[in-house]
Amino acid sequence: MVVPLRMHLLVGFRIIIIKAWKLVFFASLLFLILCGLGTWQIFRMEQKQALLAQIETGVNSHPQQLSAFHSPEAFTQIAVSGHFLDTPPFLIKSKPFEGKVGQYVLAPFETLTNGTILVLQGWTEENESIRLTNQPMTLEGQIRYPAAKSWFHPDNVLGNWYRIDPEAMGNAISIHPQPYYILQSHPPSPILPLPNQPHIPNNHIAYIITWFSLAFALCIMVIVYLRKESQRGGSNHHTK
């Protein structure tokens, strides 16, 4: 019984090497890709959870004086004194809000201690007339950093702004704003305030389960196939 069993295993192994090596190669490659995607989703989930915790901490904190920070973190609640510059605000076009499409109002604010900062006041309809006062004031808001340009963002053109770019906007009016901006908590009418807590989906657990389940299912299918091929090869050997 020992010799036939060994012969059966050798025949099955030979079939796998000769006839199914391409399947094993590509299945192994696909398995590594699926596991890599699952691992990447674990990494992304950890990043997302850290970001959500940072947002939660910032939103629930009391405003602090911006002068206390050298490099404030995103979503920090701050209070800052100064005045808006006597220049027209930047109007960022094609921005949806509560089912309508309008514009964001972004105005340069000269602070007493932190230089010039762009302030995202909120949203208005595109035909709304915006008048800003340059009187001294103290405003409250939340620190934000501009998102990187994506393929879906059209390029900013002087006078036609589609995304926040402190450097380009500063160059347009010869100022040097901070690399971050402030989302104002209580803008003047008719500007509508924007939510201070962004909706960030966290579906990474579902993606993790999906990718690793596909990798596991792939292994099972390949093993079942190779086992059948091995048995078929062994049967053919015995019939000869």
DSSP collapsed to 3 states, 26-77: HHHHHHHHHHHHHHHHHHHHHHHHHHHHHHHHHHCCCCEEHHHCCCCCCCCE
pLDDT tens across 106-139, in order?
999 999 988 999 999 999 998 777 878 889 999 9
Q: Read off the pLDDT of each residue in 176-184 and give the average, rounded to a whole number.
A: 95
Nearest to 63 by CA among 81, 84, 82: 81
pLDDT tens across 38-70, in order?
999 999 999 888 888 888 887 778 889 998 888
Distance CA 51, CA 100 (A): 28
Does the structure show a pLDDT above 60 at 3?
no
Q: Read off the pLDDT of each residue in 71-87 and give the average, rounded to a whole number.
A: 92
Give the pLDDT confidence score for residue 69 in this predicted structure.
84
Helices 2-19 & 21-59 angle (0-180, nearest 10):
70
Residues 140, 145, 151, 157: what is their CA dihedral angle, to the nearest 10 degrees? 70
Give the pLDDT confidence score for residue 1 in this predicted structure.
45
Q: Are 38 and 218 in contact (CB under 8 A)?
A: no
Does the structure show a pLDDT above 50 at 2?
no
CB atoms within 10 A of CB 44: 14
Give the pLDDT confidence score for residue 239 in this predicted structure.
52
- Token pair belonging to 209: 């389960």
Which residues lie below 8 Å from residue 128, measured CB to CB, with a gap of 6+? 102, 103, 190
Q: How confident is the model at residue 13 (pLDDT cuts 50, 70, 90)?
A: low
Does pTM surpass 0.75?
no
Q: Are 96 and 162 in contact (CB under 8 A)?
A: no
Does the structure show a pLDDT above 80 at 10?
no
* Residue owning tokens 């005045």: 83
Q: 3-state class of 6 per DSSP?
A: helix
Residues found in the chain: 240
Which residues lie below 8 Å from residue 15, measured CB to CB, with a gap of 6+? 229, 230, 232, 233
Residue ranges covered by each domain of the chain: 2-51+203-239, 63-184
R_g of the chain computed on alpha carbons = 30
Q: How confident is the model at residue 185 (pLDDT cuts 50, 70, 90)?
A: very high
